[in-house]
Amino acid sequence: MSTKKDYEDIPGTFIFDADRGREGYQLNRFCISLRLQKNRDEFNAGEEAYLDKYPMTAEQREAVLKREWNEMLALGGNIYYTSKLAANDGINFQELAGIMTGMGREAYRKMMLEGGRSPEGNRYKHEWDERGEN
């Protein structure tokens, strides 16, 4: 990414902004291609050959092949596009969130039904002054 941004230090969060969008362009093109059955069939018949159509970085390609969901986001993937790959693998969005949080499906579901994750420990790491400026 080109410049350091204040919001980059939110624990466990990858903000999808213009820089990350540019970085993940080919990764996201691949993922969104899976919305079509003919592309899913081709991908499932030979993942590496299908990925050759999209000039991703080596790290992005490896993250796709290993299904490293959080790494895909760190490398510019958009959650709504990467979830197309998960759906292709038979993973629904709730299951994907459980995997990505390390909680598993049932614990994630329970947490969400109980009101979601506490904001404690999930905010900016840097200090703010009394005016809300750092």
pLDDT for position 38: 98
The CATH code of the domain at 14-90 is 1.10.700.10
**pLDDT at position 119 over 90:** no
For CATH 1.10.700.10, the residue range(s) in the chain are 14-90
| Cα–Cα distance list, 71 to 13, 49, 96, 99 (Å) | 11, 21, 13, 12
Mean pLDDT of the chain: 85
Highest mean pLDDT among 20-34, 47-61, 90-104: 47-61
* Stated pTM of the model: 0.79
